[in-house]
Structure 1
Amino acid sequence: MGKRIDVQDLHVYYGSFLAVEGVSMTIEPRSVTAFIGPSGCGKSTFLKTLNRMHEVTPGGRVEGKVLLDDEDLYGANVDPVAVRRTVGMVFQRPNPFPTMSIADNVTAGLRLNGVKDKKVLAEKAEKSLRGANLWDEVKDRLNKPGAGLSGGQQQRLCIARAIAVEPQVLLMDEPCSALDPISTGKVEDLIEELKDDYTVVIVTHNMQQAARVSDKTAFFNLKETGKPGHLIEMDDTQKIFNNPSERATEDYISGRFG
């Protein structure tokens, strides 16, 4: 598992508004790529184009290409729902289904895809919860509501739900912003493990987090409020944080703006 993503001159629109302009990048398989930059610069918007989630918003569309191992995700015959199975997403705030048990939360996507065998579902629930480093904490209460878990546990539950359908890529939109430091550490440790099997892309406002967990970092910015966001530079995380090529990147990382 884990696929390469090639983005070619991507423009992201909502109606006539150009939200993100002219992004080209390569995201390597089985690695962690972090998107950083000030609020409103298009990081999360661009992230959502990688599995066509932005199209859920009325008027959301793109120009350009997003290739997943050479397959254009925006090709004429490509089903957006199939794209979202291949490219999973974990959101900023944990969003377990409140009326479902822990086990049912994990297997919701599988059941939606027609899997009915209880043994298969139980095995997949355990495998996914182990993969999210949550099994030992919840194995004795799988039938309890997922919403009864702590915030950090809920976020790992959502990660388990995302990996249960065996995606190739896992997108995370500020997955730790609502979590305490201990829970954040557990999710960061999990991200490090997930890259063994998945291509992971994370949006974060936490610069230290980007430096800790990512192999590559992309810095986004915008010229002024109301203008489209764009990619300033992307490189190995160590280089971005220690010796960036662009002055704007250095200014942001050092706290001189943003």
Structure 2
Amino acid sequence: MGKRIDVQDLNVYYGDFKAVEDVTMTVEPRSVTAFIGPSGCGKSTFLRTLNRMHEVIPGGRVEGKVLLDDQDLYANGVDPVGVRRTVGMVFQRPNPFPTMSIGDNVTAGLRLNGMKNKKELTERTERALRGANLWEEVKDRLDKPGAGLSGGQQQRLCIARAIAVQPQVLLMDEPCSALDPISTLAIEDLVHELKEDYTIVIVTHNMQQAARVSDKTAFFNLAATGKPGRLVEMDDTTTIFNNPKVKATEDYISGRFG
């Protein structure tokens, strides 16, 4: 599990507006890559292109290539639903399905894909919850509403839901922004464990978090309001934080702007 992502000359649009311009990068398999940069520079927009969520937005379109182990996700005939099964996503705010139990939240994607075998569903539920470090906390109340969990538990439930369908890549869009410090630490510890099996890309505004959890860091910026976001620099996280090649990267990390 865990696939390599190669992005080539990617431009992202909302209608006629170019939101992200000319991004080329490689995300290594079974690693954590952090996207950092000021608000409005296209980090989350670009993240959504990696599993074709961007085109769900009216007017959203992409030019360029996103290769997952050499398969172009935007090639003719590629099923976007299949892409989203392979490249899972965890959003900024925990979003468990409010009318579903904890167990049903985990298996929602499996059932949608046609899995009906109760024994297999039960096994996959436990495996996913263990993978999200949540099993011991919820194993005796799987029939209780997922929305009744704490914020940090809800986010781990959403991670369990994402990994239950066994994706190859896990995208995380500011997964800790709505959480308290203790829950944030739990998610960060989980990210470290998950990268043994998954390729992980995380958008974060928290510089310390990027430094703690990621192997590579990509810095995005924009020339001015209304201009497209661009990838300024990408390197090993220690290099980006200690010896960046571009002055704008150093200025952002040191808090001079952003």
Give me the TM-score of the superposition, normalised by structure 2: 1.00
The one-character-per-residue Cα deviations of 1:89-117 (angstroms, maximum 9, x if unpaired) are 00000000000000000000000000011
The alignment's C-alpha RMSD in Å is 0.3
Q: Matched residues in 1 for 2:57 and 2:225: separation?
A: 21
- Which SS does the other structure have where 1:152 is aligned? helix
Please state how far the C-alpha of 1:63 moved relative to its aligned partner: 0.6
- Which SS does the other structure have where 2:220 is aligned? strand
The one-character-per-residue Cα deviations of 1:191-213 (angstroms, maximum 9, x if unpaired) are 00000000000000000000000
Q: Percent identity?
A: 84
**Amino acid of the residue matched to residue 157 of structure 1?**
L
- Which SS does the other structure have where 1:9 is aligned? strand
Aligned partner of 1:24 in structure 2 is 24
Aligned partner of 1:82 in structure 2 is 82
Aligned partner of 2:189 in structure 1 is 189
- Which SS does the other structure have where 1:35 is aligned? strand
**Amino acid of the residue matched to residue 47 of structure 2?**
L
Q: Matched residues in 2 for 1:256 and 1:146: separation?
A: 41
Aligned partner of 1:253 in structure 2 is 253
- Which SS does the other structure have where 1:159 is aligned? helix
**Amino acid of the residue matched to residue 214 of structure 2?**
S
Q: Matched residues in 2 for 1:94 and 1:56: separation?
A: 20
Aligned partner of 1:58 in structure 2 is 58
Please state how far the C-alpha of 1:70 moved relative to its aligned partner: 0.1
Aligned partner of 1:221 in structure 2 is 221
Aligned partner of 2:210 in structure 1 is 210
**Amino acid of the residue matched to residue 99 of structure 1?**
T
* 2:258 matches 1:241: no
Q: Matched residues in 1 for 2:74 and 2:145: separation?
A: 37
**Amino acid of the residue matched to residue 240 of structure 1?**
I
- Which SS does the other structure have where 2:161 is aligned? helix
Please state how far the C-alpha of 1:10 moved relative to its aligned partner: 0.2
Aligned partner of 2:91 in structure 1 is 91
Please state how far the C-alpha of 1:148 moved relative to its aligned partner: 0.1
Please state how far the C-alpha of 1:159 moved relative to its aligned partner: 0.1
Please state how far the C-alpha of 1:217 moved relative to its aligned partner: 0.1
Q: Matched residues in 2 for 1:149 and 1:251: separation?
A: 40
**Amino acid of the residue matched to residue 244 of structure 1?**
P
Q: Matched residues in 2 for 1:158 and 1:89: separation?
A: 9
Please state how far the C-alpha of 1:131 moved relative to its aligned partner: 0.2
Instruction: Count the aligned residue pairs.
Output: 258
Q: Matched residues in 2 for 1:164 and 1:117: separation?
A: 15
- Which SS does the other structure have where 2:8 is aligned? strand
Q: Matched residues in 2 for 1:49 and 1:72: separation?
A: 12
Unaligned runs of 5+ in 2: none
* 2:164 matches 1:134: no
Please state how far the C-alpha of 1:11 moved relative to its aligned partner: 0.2
- Which SS does the other structure have where 1:162 is aligned? helix
Q: Matched residues in 1 for 2:25 and 2:232: separation?
A: 11
Q: Matched residues in 1 for 2:54 and 2:38: separation?
A: 20
Unaligned runs of 5+ in 1: none
The one-character-per-residue Cα deviations of 1:112-162 (angstroms, maximum 9, x if unpaired) are 000011111111000000000000000010000000000000000000000
Aligned partner of 1:146 in structure 2 is 146
